Structure 1
Amino acid sequence: MKSSEAIYREALAQLQRLIEQATAQGVEEAHAAALATADRYAHPSVRMVYIVAVEEAGLLFFANTESGKGQQLIDNPRASLCFFWRELQEQVTLEGDVIRQSVETSDNYWRKRPRETQLAAWVLPQGTPAPEKGESRRQVRQLEQALGFEPVPRSPNWCAFRLQPERIEFWPSGWPRMRERVRYLKQADGLWSEALLSP
């Protein structure tokens, strides 16, 4: 009989394999997932995000804390994710609590971002009114000249978040729908269980 830890690790490993398979087959945005959040009044919203890492601690992604999703994650730190790879006829859904990560984690991944993306994060805060045409490019060039060869510091609003799964469900989408659907669930006692579901 598999232990709770083994069941959870198995689920994460299967998710990682699907991402790698999608990447190997040339699927665009293989690391992208729909992130569903809700505000303090339970008004839902959903958008695509890039999942930076699938780790035992959870799934890592980033958000501007002043954006809609950032505010919702702070006010109501629970979310769902849905990966869908049409080419593989596979989808995976997850849900759980979302934990804002340390400054060190945010800094570490900020340094890996392309310089142009870093500059844009300063010039174009997510969700704010767009500047006049051409103004954003001018501001990016201005900031780049001011920094010279210095690294672009992390915007204080650009933060790492981690979804800690409590449910992971593999739901193949091929037709006819006779493929195996599997749900991994963290129960009230903290132990993980695995169950086959009707497609």
Structure 2
Amino acid sequence: MKVHTELYPQALERLQRLIDEAAARGVEEPHTAALATADRQARPSVRTVYIVAVDEAGLLFFANRESGKGQQLRDNPQAALCFYWPVLQEQVQVEGSAVAQDDDLSDQYWRKCSRMIQLGAWASDQGQPAKGKPRVHQQARQLEQAAGFEAIPRPASWCAFRVLPERIEFWPTGWQRLRERLRYQKEANGQWVRAVLNP
């Protein structure tokens, strides 16, 4: 087991290299990961999210505060992510606390979203029961016509979250399953340690 101040940045750099390699190999949406959360009773849920940024501040993604994942993150702010790229025979697991980010950061990334994503965020009452036949596409078109060429503001419920890693594990896959796993973990004293695990 190795202890070193550079282990956390090293783990993040390795994760980013895998994302970049997956993109170079033509993997569709290489930045996506399965996000697992749980409610107050520890009942788990999992869904796929787009990871916007990987840096020392954490792994950034967006969620509607009123959606199922938004409510779970508010009630039980622990999360796990799993990236999986079959073409690379690699997966990466990340666990840690999830923290809502401030409005400035949410606004910054909102402005980078496509107009269709912005319209969809306004048109859909995400995760809520539909009253009658869903009309999300029609509502999005109406919003687009009403907005014209004006910028579309960020809904208050659309928020950036960061997973602050406490464990990052590189777990190679493949039929032979004999490749070593590598775990980076944050100890109670704040130090990161690295350990090689049996496959």
Relative to the length of structure 1, the TM-score reads 0.95
The answer to whether the Cα contact below 8 Å between 1:34 and 1:82 also exists between their aligned partners in 2 is yes
Q: Name the structure 2 match of 1:138.
A: 138
Q: Retained in 2: the 8 A contact 1:124–1:130? A: no
1:163 aligns to 2:163 (yes or no): yes
Q: Which residue of the partner structure matches residue 196 of structure 2?
A: 196
Which position in structure 1 is the counterpart of 2:32? 32
Equivalents in 2 of 1:37, 1:149: separation in Å?
A: 38
Unaligned runs of 5+ in 1: none
Question: 2:181 and 2:23 mapped to 1: Cα distance?
Answer: 22
Question: Counterpart of 1:57?
Answer: 57
1:58 Cα shift? 0.5
Q: What is the distance in 2 between the residues matched to 1:153 and 1:132?
A: 27
Aligned match of 1:42: 42
Give the deviation of 1:3 after TM superposition.
Answer: 6.3
**Whole-Å Cα distance in 1 between the matches of residues 133 and 116 of structure 2?**
18
Give the CA deviation at 1:139. 1.7
Distance 1:22 1:132 in 2: 41
| Deviation at residue 176 of structure 1 after TM alignment | 1.2
SS of alignment partner, residue 5 of structure 1: coil
Q: Give yes or no for contact 2:64–2:70 (8 Å, CA) kept in 1.
A: yes
* Structure 2 contact 3–193 (Cα < 8 Å) conserved: no
2:37 and 2:44 in contact (8 A); partners too: yes
Q: CA contact under 8 A between 2:15 and 2:92: conserved in structure 1?
A: yes
- Please state whether the residue corresponding to 1:116 is helix, strand or coil: helix
1:175 deviation in Å? 2.5
AA matched with 2:169: E
Rounded Cα–Cα distance in structure 2 between residues aligned with 1:49 and 1:134: 23
Provide the C-alpha distance between the structure 2 equivalents of 1:91 and 1:187, rounded to a whole number of angstroms.
23
Structure 2: how far apart are the matches of 1:44 and 1:77? 12
The structure-2 alpha-carbon separation of the partners of 1:72 and 1:134, relative to structure 1 and needing over 3 Å to count, comes to closer
Seen in structure 2, the aligned counterparts of structure 1 residues 152 and 10 have a Cα distance that, compared at 3 Å, is same
CA distance in 1, matches of 2:63, 2:7: 30
Measured against aligned partners, the alpha-carbon deviations of 1:89-113 in whole angstroms (never above 9, x if no partner) come to: 0000010011100100100111111
Paired with 2:131 and 2:143, the residues of 1 have a C-alpha distance of: 15
Once the two structures are superposed, residues 41-92 of structure 1 have per-residue CA deviations (whole angstroms, 9 ceiling, x without a partner) of 1111111100000010100000000000000001100110000001100000
Q: Which residue of 1 aligns with 2:95?
A: 95
Where does residue 12 of structure 2 map in the other structure?
Answer: 12
Q: Could you say what secondary structure the match of 1:92 adopts?
A: strand
| C-alpha separation in 2, matches of 1:14 and 1:177 | 20
The alpha-carbon deviation at position 137 of structure 1 amounts to 2.7
Which has the larger displacement, 180-189 or 136-145? Answer: 136-145
Distance 1:132 1:164 in 2: 40
List structure 1 segments (4+ residues) > 6 angstroms apart after TM superposition. none
Aligned residues: 198
Structure 1 residue 180: deviation in Å?
Answer: 1.9
Q: Residue 144 of structure 1: CA displacement?
A: 1.6
1:141: how far off? 2.1
Aligned to 2:117: 117
The CA RMSD over aligned residues, in Å, is 1.4
Q: Which amino acid aligns with 1:141?
A: R
